[in-house]
Amino acid sequence: MEIKRKLLMLVVFIISIPVNAADHTVEMLSSSNGQMMVFKPAVLKINPGDTVTWKATNPGHNTSSIEQMSADSSLKWNGKINEELKITFTKEGIYGYKCTPHYILGMVGVIAVGENLDNLSSATKFATSEEKKFATNKNRFSKYMNELKN
């Protein structure tokens, strides 16, 4: 009888996992609140198992993972221009992403998954180095990374 009860509890737990997962939307925008070439929100804190959907609210944008800022080296994406893209994050840590054609303009974003942000230091170091190459929005990455530290 005890085995059946434990099995039933396990099944209920497994079934409930997707119910608790959330779907977050990030808009790809040419401008918002006086800022050019932005993701909105640009900094997102989510739970493991949550999904992020990028929507090309304005045309001409995509989302692409930044390999050097990924907690999960097997999770890579490179959306097409104007493509709506959904990614589910299961491993805790920091994930950086960019709009490929507007990366030089500082169109970047950051996702923090869960509480275990072991790659925060290395992601911040990479972001600080990269933003020096931006033609505009040179402190954007640093600003976003600082938001995660609070």
pLDDT, tens digit only, all 150 positions of the chain: 677 666 555 555 555 455 579 999 999 999 999 999 999 999 999 999 999 999 999 999 999 999 999 999 999 999 999 999 999 999 999 999 999 999 999 999 999 999 999 999 999 999 999 999 999 999 999 999 999 987
Pairwise CA distance, residues 30 & 137, whole Å: 13
pTM value surpassing 0.95: no
Pairwise CA distance, residues 48 & 27, whole Å: 21
> Into which CATH architecture does domain 21-149 fall?
Sandwich (2.60)
* Sequence-ordered list of residues with C-beta below 8 angstroms from that of 39, at least 6 positions apart, any chain: 26, 27, 28, 29, 54, 63, 97, 99, 107, 108, 109
Predicted local distance difference test score (pLDDT) of residue 16: 47
Residue 52: exposure state from Cβ atoms within 10 A (0-12, 13-18, ≥19): buried
H-only helix segments in the chain: 2-20, 120-131, 140-149
